[in-house]
């Protein structure tokens, strides 16, 4: 919520009357929260490679012919109001998680680039700072975020052209992520109501309850 709130304030800073210093402060806070977000994302990606069969990357990011057939059968079952149970993620949930992580990765990469172009923060900030100062060591040492002093204006304008598509991607991915999160929450609530399997509590406890055998149940586990 912190990243979302700060991002919206930054996006509409002119309408809100935020001055340059205030915008730099907001971007700095946004960037540092972004680092926390990136660390969490990296940890979650590493967890995909754990031995837990239902949260392993192979169990979620699978798009073969068998998965397409399973998805079609699942959609058909939904239309017939005969929703099947899954110990892991159902086929639609797998698609949603794939979309969410794609958007999160896009946000992380584009955000890190923008932190470098706006505030000269790591991991790309030092190289960008060298770029916009024409690699002049004196200008580099005196460079400040938000200030146009100590800049090589030709290099700075080149950098602004370079960063523009990252801004566009960051904004569109942001709104797409908000929509995807909302759809995900709605889908989880509806699944909980229809399945009555303890889906929401299972996110904490890892336990689900079924009235019929889950499709992905494996006796060998």
Q: pLDDT per residue over 163-199, tens digit each? A: 999 999 999 999 999 999 999 888 888 777 776 666 6
Distance CA 197, CA 191 (A): 9
From the list 104, 130, 108, the residue with the least C-alpha distance to 117 is 130
pLDDT for 35 equals 97
From the list 119, 116, 153, the residue with the least C-alpha distance to 133 is 153
Distance CA 126, CA 117 (A): 10
pLDDT for 219 equals 45
- 187 token code pair: 């889908």
Q: What is the pTM of this model?
A: 0.85
Residues 57-83 have pLDDT tens digits of: 777 777 778 878 888 888 888 787 777
pLDDT for 180 equals 93
pLDDT for 91 equals 85
Mean pLDDT of the chain: 86
Q: What percentage of the chain has pLDDT greater than the value 70? A: 88
- Ranges of residues in the chain with a pLDDT under 50 are 219-221
Domains and CATH numbers, the chain: 2-205 (1.20.950)
């Amino acid at each position: 919520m912190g990243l979302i709130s700060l991002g919206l304030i930054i996006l509409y800073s002119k309408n809100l009357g935020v001055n340059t210093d205030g915008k730099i402060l907001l971007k700095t806070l946004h960037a540092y929260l972004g680092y926390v977000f990136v660390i969490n994302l990296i940890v979650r990606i590493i967890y995909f490679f754990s031995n837990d069969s239902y949260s392993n990357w192979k169990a979620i990011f699978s798009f073969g012919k068998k998965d397409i057939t399973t998805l079609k059968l699942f959609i058909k079952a939904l239309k017939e109001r005969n929703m099947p149970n899954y110990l892991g993620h159902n086929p639609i949930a797998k698609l949603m998680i794939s979309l969410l992580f794609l958007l999160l990765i896009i946000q992380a990469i584009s955000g890190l680039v923008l932190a470098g172009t706006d505030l000269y923060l790591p991991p790309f900030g030092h190289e960008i700072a060298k770029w916009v100062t024409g690699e002049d060591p004196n200008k580099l040492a005196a460079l400040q975020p938000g200030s146009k002093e100590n800049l090589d204006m030709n290099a700075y304008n080149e950098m602004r052209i370079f960063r523009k598509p990252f801004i566009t991607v960051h904004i569109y991915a942001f709104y797409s992520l908000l929509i995807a999160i909302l759809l995900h929450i709605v889908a989880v609530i509806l699944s909980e109501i229809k399945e009555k399997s303890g889906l929401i509590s299972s996110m904490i406890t890892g336990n689900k309850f079924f009235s019929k055998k889950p499709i992905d149940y494996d006796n060998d586990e």
